[in-house]
Amino acid sequence: MRDFIAAAEAAADAAGAVIRPLFRSRLLVEAKGDASPVTEADKGAERTIRALLAERFPDHGILGEEYGPTAAEAEYVWVVDPIDGTRAFVTGRPIFGTLVGLMHRGRPVLGLIDQPATGERWIGVAGEPLRFRGPLGGTPGSRPCARLAEAELSCTSPDMFTPDEAPRFERVRQAARRVTWGGDCYGFGLLALGLVDAVVESDLKPWDWVALAPVVEAAGGRLTDWQGQPLRLDGPGQVIAVGDPALLPEIVALLAG
């Protein structure tokens, strides 16, 4: 696992070197098919990550947001999102992140969240405590919070929910102490530092959540689907993250109605 961690960190370092010079610069933004913004930073960073991982582990697969799957049937598959939170990136807000995850036979075993503008980095490995470093401070590990009425809830945007999902999420929002909007992967990082208690989102693709699962779980939390079950690569991307596993049943019940 040490070699895998070193590779994930090297990939994040290399991606950051591509991303930082473009952050808060005037970028040409083109529209992808789903109308989300994509910049040369996304594409250049993913090309850099892919080249580094392919050189170190030529028998591993890679799945990325910008360039799709390569050898997806391999025993080990890296799952990367060069800029998770592109809208934050193009509007100059440092709450985006680079995600590097590793799956072994379909199960996430390593996850890294890197914020290249602030220098914060979270590393989660299955069966090991969370590692975190950054100049802004923070203590790795989630905090106890067994009741939604006492919980800080985070969600990237209410627009991510379908008409069927929106009222289900609204039940969770109304039961929570308060909700904070925006954040993408950064919200999950804050949960892993005990500053957020729950994140509920939808329509996440594998490159959005594979790296997050080991980080959240290494912090003592849980990352599941809306039924409280392990996430699947072919699932709808409905995600619950909780810092305190005791909080999960209440959220699942509210989402189920």
pLDDT digit string (tens) for 118-140? Answer: 999 999 999 999 999 999 999 99
- What confidence score (pLDDT) does residue 33 get? 61
The answer to pTM > 0.75 is yes
**Which percentage of the chain shows pLDDT scores above 90?**
89
- What confidence score (pLDDT) does residue 227 get? 98
- In tens, the pLDDT along 133-181 reads 999 999 999 999 999 999 999 999 999 999 999 999 999 999 999 999 9
Is 76's pLDDT higher than 90? yes
- In tens, the pLDDT along 90-108 reads 889 999 999 999 999 999 9
Domains of the chain: 2-133 (3.30.540.10), 148-256 (3.40.190.80)
pLDDT (mean) for 5-23: 96
> Could you count the other beta carbons within 10 Å of the beta carbon of residue 229?
10
Is 204's pLDDT higher than 60? yes
Measured CA to CA, the distance from residue 249 to residue 212 in angstroms comes to: 20
- What confidence score (pLDDT) does residue 148 get? 98
- In tens, the pLDDT along 235-248 reads 999 999 999 999 99
Of these ranges, 33-42, 81-90, 189-198, the one predicted with the greatest mean pLDDT is: 189-198
Is 223's pLDDT higher than 80? yes
- What confidence score (pLDDT) does residue 140 get? 98
Mean residue pLDDT of the chain comes to 95
- In tens, the pLDDT along 21-65 reads 999 887 656 656 665 667 788 999 999 999 999 999 999 999 999
**Which percentage of the chain shows pLDDT scores above 70?**
96
- What confidence score (pLDDT) does residue 57 get? 98
